[in-house]
Amino acid sequence: MKVPQYTELLGLSLQQLTDVVESLAESPYRARQLFDGLYRQKWSSLERFTTLSQAFRQRLSEAGFAVGLPRIEKKFVSVDGTVRYLLAFADGQSVETVWMPEGDGGEAGDGSESGDAELEELDSAPSVSSSDIVVPSEAEGSAVRNEGTSGAPFFRPPVAKERDENVAPAKASPDRKRWRRATICVSSQVGCAVECAFCMTALLGLHRNLTAGEIVGQILAVLSDQQVEMQRDRVNLVFMGQGEPFLNYDNFMQAVRLLVEGVGIPASRMTVSTSGIVPRIADFAAEPVRPKLAVSLNAPNEALRTQVMPITKKWTIEKLIAALRDFPLRNRERLTFEYVLLGGVNDDVQQAREMIDLIRGLRAKVNLIALNPGPEIPFATPSDERVLAFQNVLTRAGIPAFVRRPRGRDIYAACGQLKHTTELVQLGS
Ligand code: SAH
Ligand code: SF4
């Protein structure tokens, strides 16, 4: 089949749209209308751009320009409200994007902002010691507590586990639980070239980079499907889906700028997670507009990290930590270290002590994630006791540490489980 040749407008900046408009001898203000239609209105085809004349739309189309959001191919809804979307692009490739409605207890599921609410209090009230930090265990409690407070709610998707190939938008219904905010976990590549031993995405290998338009398109498709209103609802983004964002750096950063300027999501509500692509950390530090930075550490020393994350051979822990020591943090900003606990491998309290020495002096918090299991993943999930013991060692040393509650494990939507899992496991049967 011949793939149609066209230029996708979604993903272009205002300047690039201005160039398009000028090449068609139209007034430059048309570029602003296109920008607004693409990113604020989330219009998914040229026909919907009713702010433009029919004649101009026709000329755009004849010149080979098109608009298209990724298609929702499948939707899996978890018992905890998490929704895993399988989104397909024009060439048939697809990625997974996860919607996580949540309470307001500093618990962010797969989002690395777990603990941010507590940390804000900690930072503004020096009398609170880090050992006072409690890990919220259930989002439910906080959601109930927040009902009726300012800020508008999200509607929780149906609680029953289901395989939903009927992709009609989630409809608001009065009996659904209300949420004040939600987090979208976004993919940056189809598959991933980094061969982390505990991650299901690694099993896919790298198929290709996503364009800036495809990265933004995931978010627009989910926002539309969940009927989010940007002025009203609070949305956080975590670039923690499939892929290594810093190995698709330019497209990832172009997407960030479009999301800030066009869609209206502040960069302070975004977190990017990297496996430690050291040269890009310095580039990222120099960006005038950037999300917060999370680093997947996953082991406290060179030998063990090389085993579980072979990329350590290329960029050593020493180089990684040195780059992070040079990273200019903003007022009140903290780095996040992510640490996937692998039973009997990296979850010993002695290894927690080693980690303290490694990250000493960095303004950072640690998000602990008990391994989300999956087929072909040769590690075990540690017991709750071991997770808590590891957390305690860090917390007692003054390092804020949070245990991330897995979201959507039943539908393979949790961290490290994104791998077109229909291939591997039968869901919803
Ligand atoms: N490639 C980037 C971002 C995507 S991975 C990175 O590695 O940082 C997002 C997070 O999921 C990382 O912190 C990673 O360590 C974690 N992760 C991967 N596989 C996991 C698994 N099986 N269980 C729990 N977390 C996992
Ligand atoms: Fe890639 Fe991140 Fe998975 Fe490692 S953990 S394989 S970098 S997606």
Q: Is the pLDDT of residue 296 over 50?
A: yes
For residues 183-212, give the mean pLDDT: 96
User: What are 77-120's pLDDT values in tens digits?
Assistant: 998 889 999 999 999 999 999 999 974 333 344 444 545 555 55
For residues 93 and 208, the answer to whether their CB atoms sit within 8 Å is yes
DSSP 336-357: EEEEEE-TTTT--HHHHHHHHH
Of 13-17, 56-60, 80-84, 300-304, minimum mean pLDDT range: 80-84
User: What are 376-401's pLDDT values in tens digits?
Assistant: 899 999 999 999 999 999 999 999 99
Q: Residue holding tokens 């050593």?
A: 316
User: What are 121-166's pLDDT values in tens digits?
Assistant: 455 443 323 322 222 233 322 222 222 222 222 222 222 233 333 3
For residues 11-31, give the mean pLDDT: 96
Q: How far, in Å, CA of 308 to CA of 298, rounded?
A: 8
Q: Is 369 in the pocket of ligand 1 (CB under 6 A)?
A: yes
Q: Is the pLDDT of residue 195 over 70?
A: yes
Q: What is the pLDDT of residue 406?
A: 76
Question: Which residue, among 371, 302, 382, 310, has the nearest Cα to 348 in the 3D structure?
Answer: 382
3-class DSSP state of 115: coil
Question: Which residue, among 381, 417, 404, 424, has the nearest Cα to 202 in the 3D structure?
Answer: 417
Catalytic residue among 96, 102, 118, 338: 96
Identify the H or E element spanning 237.
strand 234-239
Query: Is 415 annotated as catalytic?
Result: yes
Q: What is the pLDDT of residue 425?
A: 39
Q: Is 238 in the pocket of ligand 2 (CB under 6 A)?
A: no
Q: What is the pLDDT of residue 102?
A: 75
Q: Is 329 exposed, middle or buried (0-12, 13-18, 19+ CB in 10 A)?
A: middle
What pLDDT band is residue 417 in, cutting at 50, 70 and 90? low
Q: How far, in Å, CA of 190 to CA of 208, rounded?
A: 5
Q: What is the mean pLDDT of the chain?
A: 83
Q: How far, in Å, CA of 421 to CA of 427, rounded?
A: 8
What pLDDT band is residue 313 in, cutting at 50, 70 and 90? very high
For residues 52-58, give the mean pLDDT: 96
Q: Whose CA is nearest to atom 12 of ligand 1?
A: 296
Residues linked to residue 271 through DSSP beta bridges, in sequence order: 238, 292
For residues 356 and 398, the answer to whether their CB atoms sit within 8 Å is no
Question: How much of the chain exceeds pLDDT 70, in percent?
Answer: 76
DSSP 48-108: G-TTS-HHHHHHHHHTTEE--PPEEEEEEE-TTS-EEEEEE-TTS-EEEEEEEEE-SSS--
Q: Is 96 in the pocket of ligand 2 (CB under 6 A)?
A: no
For residues 267 and 256, the answer to whether their CB atoms sit within 8 Å is yes
Q: What is the pLDDT of residue 275?
A: 98
Q: Is 192 in the pocket of ligand 2 (CB under 6 A)?
A: yes
Q: Is the pLDDT of residue 336 over 80?
A: yes
Q: Whose CA is nearest to atom 7 of ligand 1?
A: 275
Q: Model pTM? A: 0.84
**Phi-psi label, residue 4: left if phi above 0, alpha if psi -120 to 50, beta otherwise:** beta
Lookup: tokens for 335: 């780095």
Of 141-150, 169-178, 358-367, minimum mean pLDDT range: 141-150
What pLDDT band is residue 172 in, cutting at 50, 70 and 90? very low
Q: What is the pLDDT of residue 153?
A: 23
Q: How far, in Å, CA of 13 to CA of 148, rounded?
A: 39
Catalytic residue among 140, 229, 415, 423: 415
Q: From ligand 1's centre to the CA of 143, what distance in Å?
A: 26
Q: What is the pLDDT of residue 393?
A: 98
Q: What is the pLDDT of residue 174?
A: 43
Half-sphere exposure of 216 (CA within 13 A, CB side): 32
Q: Residue holding tokens 């502040």?
A: 266
Q: Is 372 in the pocket of ligand 1 (CB under 6 A)?
A: yes
Atom of ligand 1 nearest to the CA of 272: 3
Q: From ligand 1's centre to the CA of 157, what distance in Å?
A: 25
Residues 6+ apart with CB under 8 A from 227: 155, 169, 170, 171, 172
- Comparing 61 with 4, the larger pLDDT belongs to 61
